[in-house]
Structure 1
Amino acid sequence: MPSVLALTDTQISTWVAAFLLPLFRIIALLSTMPIFGTTLVPRRVRMYAALAITVAIAPSLPPMPPVQALDLSALLLVGEQIIIGAAMGLSLQLFFQAFVIAGQVVAIQMGMGFASMVDPTNGVSVAVIGQFFTMMVTLVFLGMNGHLVVFEVLVESFTTLPVGQAFDAGNIWELVMRLSWVLGASLMLVLPAITALLIVNIAFGVMTKAAPQLNIFSIGFPLILVLGMLILWLSMAEILNQYRPLAVDALQYLRSMVGAR
């Protein structure tokens, strides 16, 4: 008579936890991180990607704590994994938003603040220069395999910050305080361009004071726009040079958040 495979509730809950708990952390990361968490990537694609990543890394993950499906502790573990994944994704969003703010500042200085377009990644209207910076940093991030580094940190986080270990609430507060880093990084990116445009605006102000009959709006606006595009083109090399230390800082912060090496 063939033997019957007998499974206990503990075994079933252990197998389910070994797959579902990492899945929630991965889904939260993919839903909040740049590129994958934008509206350009459909939710179904993100779900399939999260399932594929979970299936691929589940055998190499540390043992998961057994949970009961209808137990309150299971809901707490799921919520904790969502918070960890969302915090990791939002830390990367701050890095990308530094370039968006830099583009907004330059656009206002050169008179292109009114030229806005719908950002397909976030669904809001941003200045054209900010949208250009967003596309640039996205391509550079993918070209430097930044997304692979993020996935490496994600897999390592299950060892350094295993499921069931309490997530330090101070990391959330540190993430909020990191907003000052975003403002400082955005100003550092476009400080030469802002300084040059400020000098141009001061020169036109002096011209208006010296010759009041000069129609500064018909002459100055297109000239400032042309000079602004020229200054932006000349400062692009410096912006790309600043990209590497900012990216390293953002990825190092991501590693320190989860205690990775």
Structure 2
Amino acid sequence: MLELEALEVGHWVSRYLYPFARISGLLMVMPLIGTRMVPQRIRIFLAVTVTLVMTPLLPPMPKVDPISLASMLIIMQQLLIGIAMGFVMELVTQIYVIAGQLIAMQTGLGIAVTVDPAQGASVVVISQWFLFLVSLVFLSLDGHLVMLEILADSFHTLPVGFDGLDAADFGMIVEWSGWMFAAAVVIALPALTALLIVNLAFGVMTRAAPQLNIFALGFPVTMIVGLFIMWLNIGEMAQGFHFYMDAMFEFLKKLTRG
């Protein structure tokens, strides 16, 4: 009787433990919540809350002794799935960080560096501004709610067990990261093209009037032109992030067999 009760308690614990591993892995890495600005206690509290709400709606969990090697393997597998999903979300936000760095290098604003409290590293001001922009757009479009919906569906399409992400899935994530760099270049392309034309104009001026001090004149002009181009494209950047966010959700569904 005691052994039977202990086994039932173990199964009850496993029912909440395995979803908690996947949910905590996602919240640990995903943008906004997974940053250093959110304390670890808050993240743990959110993971526990989401687990308690979501677990009754999930399919049955494998009946494995929670204190065993097999259970540890399942927990590591679920943690890896959550981290992979959060990492894909982080790649989308880094598109605009890279685009901001490309624009800053061409406009001469690369010297304007600030500390990113989310990552604990120094980044250019333009990249930080782009990151704030996409974070607000993500919240305004209820991206965090859609993410929780995809997470809940993943327990049905990719159920808890010994089978999880394979080598092909990680290959898809690597290809997605390559697409991130291409998207960053596309976002920064209008500003880069305009600044290239400005530099070509300064080159012609240098040949026509060598006595002009192009270095003193070129820096403020390129900076103003770069800021003006970013101001013109700010609406397109927000709409572009909406497109990238939809593509990210479709990729996550494909990754979780949805």
| 1:126 positional shift | 1.1
Equivalent-residue separation in structure 2 for 1:61 and 1:165 (angstroms): 17
Q: Could you list the structure 1 runs, at least 4 aligned residues long, displaced by more than 3 angstroms after superposition.
A: 4-7
State percent identity of aligned pairs: 43
Quick one: which amino acid aligns to residue 73 of structure 1?
A
Corresponding position of 1:223 = 221
Contact 1:153 1:255 in 2 (8 A): yes
Query: Normalising by structure 2, what TM-score?
Result: 0.95
Cα displacement (A) at 1:208: 2.1
One-letter amino acid matched to 2:230:
L
Amino acid at match of 1:178: W
Q: 1:212 Cα deviation (Å)?
A: 2.3
Q: State the Cα distance separating 1:222 from its structure 2 match.
A: 1.1
The code of the aligned residue for 1:173 comes to: G
Aligned to 2:112: 115
What is residue 247 of structure 2 aligned with on the other side?
249
SS in 2 for 1:212: coil
- C-alpha change, 1:6 and 1:174, in structure 2 (3 Å) is closer
2:212 is aligned, of 190, 211, 214, to 214
Q: Does 1:85 align with 2:82?
A: yes
Give the letter for the 2:61 counterpart: M
Tell whether 2:89 aligns with 1:130: no
Q: What's the TM-score once normalised by structure 1's chain length?
A: 0.94
Alpha-carbon distance, 1:15 to partner = 0.3
SS of the equivalent of 1:178 reads helix
Check conservation: 2:14, 2:63, Cα contact below 8 A.
yes
* C-alpha distance in 1 between matches for 2:203 and 2:252: 46
1:98 aligns with 2:124: no
For 2:213 and 2:63, locate their aligned partners in 1 and report how far apart those are by CA, in whole Å: 76
Residues 42-90 of structure 1, C-alpha deviation per residue, up to 9 Å, x if partnerless?
1100000000001111111111112223311011001001100000000
1:29 aligns with 2:55: no
SS class of match (2:111):
coil
Structure 2 unaligned residues grouped into runs of 5+: none
Quote the offset at 1:103 in angstroms. 0.7
What amino acid sits opposite 2:14 in the alignment?
A
Q: How many angstroms apart in 2 are the aligned matches of 1:207 and 1:248?
A: 46
- C-alpha separation between the residues in 1 aligned to 2:114 and 2:203? 30
Distance 1:118 1:208 in 2: 38
Report the Cα distance in structure 2 between the residues aligned to 1:165 and 1:46, rounded to whole angstroms.
Answer: 26
Report the equivalent of 1:193: 191
Alpha-carbon distance in structure 2 between the residues aligned to 1:136 and 1:52:
28
Q: What does residue 10 of structure 1 align with?
A: 7
How far is 1:177 from its partner?
2.0
- C-alpha deviation, 1:10, in angstroms: 2.1
Aligned equivalents of 1:206 and 1:237: distance in 2? 33
Tell me the distance in 2 between the aligned counterparts of 1:165 and 1:75. 10
**Partners of 2:138 and 2:18 in 1: CA distance:** 28
In 2, are the aligned partners of 1:103 and 1:130 still within 8 Å (CA)?
Answer: yes
Counterpart-to-counterpart distance in 2, 1:159 and 1:241: 31
1:29 CA displacement: 0.2
| Contact kept in structure 2, 1:10 and 1:66, CA below 8 Å | no
Determine if contact 2:25/2:80 at 8 Å carries over to the other structure: yes
8 Å contact kept, 2:73–2:162: no
| Preserved CA contact (<8 Å) 2:137 2:238 | no
Identify the match of residue 175 of structure 1 among 173, 176, 188. Answer: 173
1:163 corresponds to:
160
> Of residues 34, 38, 53 in structure 1, which corresponds to 2:35?
38
Unaligned 5+ residue runs, structure 1?
none
- 1:190–1:239 Cα contact (<8 Å) kept: no
Q: Which amino acid aligns with 1:14?
A: H
Letter in 2 for 1:106: I
The alpha carbon displacement at 1:7 in A equals 4.8
